[in-house]
């Protein structure tokens, strides 16, 4: 088996150690004897929706998002819609999450158009939502606690075509009010969790790998269990910090 990943804008959208998520995909695949092929697509590069089974869009500073947004719409938006429509996985984190939605409105009223992969809109708030964040997430009928770090001014609201990634246990989440974090549509996942996200959440990493391989092979893969004791300890530390923050 081969896991085919396309890392979108790795130079511009990598402010929160997002390459760590790619490293997790590579390593957890290699430990199972699965070849992991990672391609990069930057400014001006078109993408083939059939050439990859998982697309990754990370976070960046405001100036980088402003640079990337028109290129994302013009050169990659349609292909990502076609890929997602045929079962490909899209993971969009922080700024990437905002650009995967319809629009981001900054504090000065200026707007960045997104690609509408997720039915969400984001408006900048007066202050930033910062700190450890813990969620209860259910995927494919299985529930787990997922943790990470949030640092965003955006207040993201979900439309009827999206559902939350998870319920906030501790932290702010999408807007600090709704009690939800992230958004999902089919195998498209958007979230504010970074730091990076996947090293502390191997269950989520494996779920995304499984979805991507399912698209490639047409069947549910049997992923060999891995020893994740260290990752579990890191997750528990993050849960404890998030709980103290909320308390």
Q: Please, what are the domains in the chain?
A: 2-246 (3.40.50.880)
More confidently predicted of 238 and 72: 72
Establish how many alpha carbons lie within 13 A of residue 234's alpha carbon, considering only the half-sphere containing its beta carbon.
16
Q: How far apart are CA 80 and CA 185, in angstroms?
A: 13
φ/ψ of residue 145, rounded to 5? -90, 130
Residue 233, CA distances (Å) to 90, 147, 202 in order: 28, 12, 12
Would you say residue 190 has pLDDT above 80? yes
Mean pLDDT, range 152-175, rounded to an integer: 96
The catalytic residue positions are 94, 194
Would you say residue 14 has pLDDT above 90? no
| pLDDT score of 230 | 82
| pLDDT score of 245 | 61
- The whole-model pTM stands at 0.95
Instruction: Look at residue 44 and give its three-state secondary structure.
Output: coil
Would you say residue 19 has pLDDT above 90? no
């Amino acid at each position: 088996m081969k896991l085919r990943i396309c890392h979108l804008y790795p130079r511009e959208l990598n402010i929160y150690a997002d390459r760590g998520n790619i490293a997790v995909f590579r390593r957890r695949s290699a430990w199972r004897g699965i070849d992991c092929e990672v391609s990069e697509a930057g400014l001006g590069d078109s993408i083939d929706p059939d050439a990859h089974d998982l697309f990754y869009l990370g976070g960046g500073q405001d100036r980088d998002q402003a640079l990337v947004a028109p290129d994302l719409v013009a050169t990659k938006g349609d292909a990502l819609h076609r890929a997602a429509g045929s079962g490909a996985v899209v993971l969009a984190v922080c700024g990437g999450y905002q650009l995967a939605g319809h629009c981001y409105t900054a504090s000065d009223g200026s707007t960045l158009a997104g690609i509408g992969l997720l039915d969400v809109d984001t408006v900048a708030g007066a202050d930033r939502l910062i700190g450890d964040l813990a969620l209860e997430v259910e995927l494919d009928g299985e529930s787990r606690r997922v943790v990470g770090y949030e640092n965003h001014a955006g207040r993201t609201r979900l439309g009827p075509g999206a559902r939350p990634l998870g319920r906030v246990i501790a932290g702010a989440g999408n807007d600090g009010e709704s009690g939800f974090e992230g958004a999902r549509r089919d195998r498209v996942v958007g979230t504010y969790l970074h730091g990076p996200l996947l090293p502390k959440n191997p269950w989520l990493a494996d779920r995304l790998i499984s979805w991507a391989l399912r698209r490639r092979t047409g069947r549910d893969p049997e992923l060999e269990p891995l020893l994740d004791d260290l990752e579990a300890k890191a997750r528990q530390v993050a849960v404890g910090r998030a709980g103290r923050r909320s308390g």
